[in-house]
Structure 1
Amino acid sequence: MIGCFTVNSIYHFGLFLFYRKNYTALYFALINTVALVFNLLNLFHFEFEQKIGSLTFILNSLFFLYFVKSFFPEEFLETLNRIYTAFALFFFLAVLFYPNGLYENAYMYFNKAIMLLMLFSIVYILQALIRALIRRREDSLPILTGMTVLLVFSLSRYFFKESFVRIPNPLGALFF
């Protein structure tokens, strides 16, 4: 996994260097870099792992929103983007600077707030992609299909992690 995320990050940063006006490659490189950092640092103390998990989750939701927005910028409202960014940065800084000894006790509350933030992101992205499909934007159908598949596999991983469903492995770790 670490090798895949490393190669993907380098490749997409390289693409961005050649095509600086296209931010899609930059956002995807950032998504892969955050996933790489998470996979490298999740071998440490449990509390540190929880913090890193929360931080990467927040950053990836923000980068993913801007990644999808780079395909269909006219379908996203700038005001909602700024509000979402402000909330994401607030939670990022709150998790980052919350005292380590107390974070384990507050993890449940942080996690619920971050999940609500992520739920908003998912609904916001899906409604923008559906709007793009209705307006017959180029490539809206394959992107919406890919996002739906990614959402299903992400939910599969979440249900696996929370032990809601008994499956041998979380589906789709490297699917996208």
Structure 2
Amino acid sequence: MMYSTEHDQGISNEHEPLEVLVKEYLEECSTDHLSDLESFYDPEGDGRTLFWAATARNRAGKKHPHQRRISKATLEAGASALHAHIDELRLCTSFDQLHTLVRIVVDGIKGLGPLYVYDTALRYGFSKGLLPEKVYLHRGTLLGAERLGLETKVATLSLDELPSELAILSPMDVEDFLCRYKKRF
């Protein structure tokens, strides 16, 4: 089922109009998303930022809810594996390159799947100015994309594959939006 733009034509739609949800997201959530990412940055150094990102704990020690079910030992195994490749991570020049490297490095660590890979790459990449240029599909984001009738048999979507109402959001915000609002469309 493709996302319907019936509301644009004055025909009633059982779901809230997408542009209303986007406006709500911009007013209520997007600054929270940025604050969350900033909380993983450690001014004392790159290695510490990687540690916080990989263990899903911000500088205050609070574990991110996305990784709440992953044990401390598993998160620390991911952090240790990534730290062993910190020089390679530092050489990444795009988010996609960083995401791929994180995925390769933690592959085989049971419990560290696509959401962990994306979140870790995003947290670390944010501190380096490396942000997604496309929307990565995993867990809630995948469900949100599916509910909008988007292609979901792919790992990523480009912005031009999305409904026009989402054009004002960055790929990082589209990912967050699809996950947060998946039950509302």
TM-score range, shorter chain: 0.3 to 0.5
Richer in helix (by share): 1
> Whose RCO is larger (CA < 8 A, sep 6+)?
2
TM normalised by structure 1 equals 0.33
